Structure 1
Amino acid sequence: MSGKQLAKWKVEPYNVDNVSFSPDGQSIIGIVDKDKVRLWNLSGKQLTEIKGQPGAFKAVNFSPDGQYLATGGYNGAVSIWNLSGHKLAEIVKGQQQVFDGMTLSLVPTRVENVSFSPDKQRLATVEDDGKVRLWNRSGRQLAQFKNNQGKINQVSFSQDGQHLATVATVTGSMNLTVEGEGSTATESKTP
């Protein structure tokens, strides 16, 4: 990486966060003003927009095949969106409010981060109560983990889907957890 800026575009109303490249590297997804998810091509042309209620979106991530998005909200909802039809596919957890796709069950905590398993059958969420929760696509909670090293803010599945990597920003620790067992397999800390 050279650090050279390749493209730049203006986004209205300016409040953009939680951006991510698509798996094929041809588009970028981002949350705009906490109530919209937008997909852009690399030239900055908006390809689609998903609208939700105010505060509906805090986290967004592509499925491994790029056909779906998982979103997490300030209201505790986790939803899966079908990009080809721009529709809500299912609700995994949270308030049963359907926008353009599908949503999960009610959880009283804000969803900070969300990640698809490689087979797209499970989702891992990081919530503002500091817990990582593992869900199936029908909204059943499969497991719950808590890190005693600080508040977790990121989660990611291993390529084989058998491990979760989490990052706790307060302590700078990174943990590798054996999925479903809630036990820490390895831990490394950054200075």
Structure 2
Amino acid sequence: MIVPKILRTFCLGCMLVVLDHAVVQARTWTDATGTFKAEAELVAVRDGKAYLERPDGRVNTVPLKRLSVEDLKFIASIPQYAALVKPLLQESDRSPEPALPSPKIEPNQVDTPSASGSIRQFRSDSWGYNGLAFSNDGAFLVTLGSDNVTVINIKASTKTTYRIHSGNRSALTFTPDGKRLIVGGYDGRALIWQFDGEGTLKPDIEFPVDAGEIKSVVVSPDNQHVLTMHSTGTACLWNASSGEVYARFRDFKFSSCSHARFSRQGGQAMITDGRIAAVIDIPSRKIIQRMPLTNGSGQVAVIAPDGNAISVDRTYDFHTIETQTVSPVVISKGTETHWSAAYSPDGKRLVSGGLSKVKLWNVETGMPVRSFEMGDSGYVKYVAFSPDGLHFAAIGAPIGKLVEIFRMPSEE
């Protein structure tokens, strides 16, 4: 039902705006992919954007091209907005305009499997790989180059390279529903790709989140919130659909290491830079607890899947710290510097990257389980576990031209 026109004043960003509009009853709005939904009231349509007021009084701006066809038809039913959205409804392709150039696909065959224990090897044709993320079903592995995103089909032993504009990137993750890949840029911008579950990526949209390179990224279980850690020492909480930054948390040192996890229900999140850990209450968007971890910042800090422990490197050792008591409960004795680490999905194993090798640890006992030699020399900068816990992957240095995938050894 449309109510007679009234004047409403609200604060949009830092600018006071007065709009003459038709007030419409709150309804459920959906983005063009069908992934994101929100209850809101249409406030106005201006400059190619819909202004939506949520029940808490906050106003979100959403590009019209990001809305579903059903939402556009609804807006078109309001006389003063009909002319603004009808051209969009007439388009044959309703998918969002890519924020990036159309990808150039280059299939490549896998290298010969390594005798050291890896079941797959993939070598870069250009400068090298950065960052690792398995798809939710573990069938695909995605990594980044200076000018590309590469999707590796593990079973088929092939890779597909999507060309993008150049720039250093190393942070990436899939959304929990598996429909999107979020890539953090060197310039603080987040690139979002649609993923079809069959190995195909499609560029979706790009958001300017904050200054400084995005060092790591994580998404809430409901796919609504994103946390990015930036080289400037700022962690940003933002909306995965609109890109609106809800809160910024400062005074961290993410230059060497950074990690974050949402709680299983998504009501809280934990972030760490290796020196301190902080717990964020998502509804209030405030830090509710800070915990000191170490006196200095090492190379590695990873949070256990259940959030009950954090493993940090101290010289050659790993200290696994219980988050409830903030005291080391297990110390894993090592003989070299650790450059990367990741927990298995069940939290029972930790894989770390050292000099030309990856090592698997028993988290409960702190004892090493097995070492795997890498095909390239140099330190191992990136490691990652598949969501099913059956495989883990690593990138060898110095220039990261080789990705190796290992099968998780059976329990002894």
Same-fold status (TM-score > 0.5): yes
Bigger CA radius of gyration = 2
**2:187–2:212: 8 Å Cα contact kept in structure 1?**
yes
Structure 2 counterpart of 1:155, one-letter code? A
Structure 2 counterpart of 1:37, one-letter code? V
Structure 1 counterpart of 2:144, one-letter code? I
Structure 2 counterpart of 1:55, one-letter code? G
Q: Which runs of 5+ in 1 are unaligned?
A: 90-101
Residue 65 in structure 1 maps to residue 168 in structure 2: no
Aligned runs of 1:28-177 on 2, under 5 Å?
Answer: 28-32=141-145, 34-43=146-155, 44-46=157-159, 48-55=160-167, 57-84=169-196, 86-89=201-204, 102-105=205-208, 107-136=210-239, 137-148=241-252, 150-151=253-254, 153-169=258-274, 171=275, 173-177=276-280
Aligned to 2:131: 18
Deviates more, 1:75-84 or 1:53-62: 53-62
Q: Distance in 2 between matches of 1:23 and 1:72?
A: 19
Deviation at 1:186, TM superposition (A): 5.7
Q: Write 1 or 2 for the structure with the bigger share of helix.
A: 2
**1:166–1:175: 8 Å Cα contact kept in structure 2?**
yes
1:5/1:56 CA distance change after superposition, 3 Å: closer
1:80/1:14 CA distance change after superposition, 3 Å: same
Deviation at 1:106, TM superposition (A): 6.1
Q: Distance in 2 between matches of 1:112 and 1:20?
A: 14
1:82/1:60 CA distance change after superposition, 3 Å: same
Q: Distance in 2 between matches of 1:120 and 1:109?
A: 24
Deviates more, 1:35-44 or 1:123-132: 35-44
Q: How many residues align?
A: 172
Structure 2 counterpart of 1:54, one-letter code? S
**2:181–2:192: 8 Å Cα contact kept in structure 1?**
yes
Q: Distance in 2 between matches of 1:81 and 1:56?
A: 17
After superposing on structure 2, the runs of 4+ consecutive aligned residues of structure 1 that deviate more than 4 Å are none
**2:130–2:169: 8 Å Cα contact kept in structure 1?**
no
Map Cα deviations across residues 29-52 of structure 1 (whole Å, 9 max, x no partner). Answer: 1012x2211111114411x43322
Q: Distance in 2 between matches of 1:175 and 1:6?
A: 38
Structure 2 counterpart of 1:24, one-letter code? D
**1:131–1:144: 8 Å Cα contact kept in structure 2?**
yes
Deviates more, 1:52-61 or 1:112-121: 52-61
Identical counterparts, % of pairs: 23
1:106/1:118 CA distance change after superposition, 3 Å: closer
TM-score, with length taken from structure 1: 0.78
1:50/1:121 CA distance change after superposition, 3 Å: farther
1:106/1:64 CA distance change after superposition, 3 Å: closer
Structure 2 counterpart of 1:157, one-letter code? F
**1:56–1:72: 8 Å Cα contact kept in structure 2?**
no
Aligned to 2:119: 6
Q: Distance in 1 between matches of 2:181 and 2:287?
A: 28
RMSD between superposed Cα atoms in Å: 2.4
Map Cα deviations across residues 73-125 of structure 1 (whole Å, 9 max, x no partner). Answer: 01221121102263222xxxxxxxxxxxx111363322111222111122111
